[in-house]
Amino acid sequence: DVKVTQSSRYLVKRTGEKVFLECVQDMDHENMFWYRQDPGLGLRLIYFSYDVKMKEKGDIPEGYSVSREKKERFSLILESASTNQTSMYLCASSLLITGGRSYNSPLHFGNGTRLTVT
Amino acid sequence: AQTVTQSQPEMSVQEAETVTLSCTYDTSENNYYLFWYKQPPSRQMILVIRQEAYKQQNATENRFSVNFQKAAKSFSLKISDSQLGDTAMYFCAFATRNRDDKIIFGKGTRLHILP
């Protein structure tokens, strides 16, 4: 089974702090994603990556950056945390389908990190 | 813009009953995939079922089946003989190659299975 591990289940940070959320997957998946989940809004894509050192903006990238230095690890960075970034953050990975397209490849999720910014 | 709509924010059914969760989507594409994901209270999201748009036959996975109506752009999930372990948030999702491989999620339906 694919295992996607997020480093923290709960995190409390102060406004203005730099926050790192770490995600590691153990199945050699090419694709990795960061979502935030908020009640009534569902899942919204922040950033994704198809390869090492490669990143693409999702639907709500403002206030976030990412780093993918190794294939198995995808980090989400909040440069200066704000209270409106209080949320559940979900990391996911998926396999790159032959032909370079992965839209039909199922996502494998981590357990999530509930971040509170005070 | 492509959208996914789940019109039922919350539902409750008795154990052993059958329940149907609704999902509609909007797209001009012909080639796409549809998914149902389940997020139990422990929070790890898992894939329940997947449907390819070009396949006429509805996908089934044990007690879970879909009713895919391509013309109506509808993709409902039916859970038969519901169990307490089916209590979860359910997300409908849509993906097409013309969305840069990104999957679009609905806002979710919270399902409670009552003993």
Residue A18: per-residue pLDDT: 97
Point out the residue among A42, A58, A111 whose CB comes nearest to the CB of B102: A58
Q: Is residue B105 less than 8 Å (CB to CB) from chain A?
A: yes
What chain A residue is nearest to B5 in terms of C-alpha separation?
A42
B88 contact residues in A (CB cutoff 8 A) = none
Interface probe for B, chosen from A43, A57, A87 (most Cβ of B below 10 Å), is: A43
**Of residues A63, A33, A31, A59, the one with CA closest to residue A44:** A59
Mean pLDDT of all residues in B46-75: 93
- The pLDDT tens digits of the residues spanning B78-92 come to 999 999 999 999 999
> What value does the mean pLDDT take over residues A72-88?
97
pLDDT of amino acid A92:
94
When comparing pLDDT for B96 and A42, which is higher? A42
**Percent of chain B having pLDDT more than 70?**
95
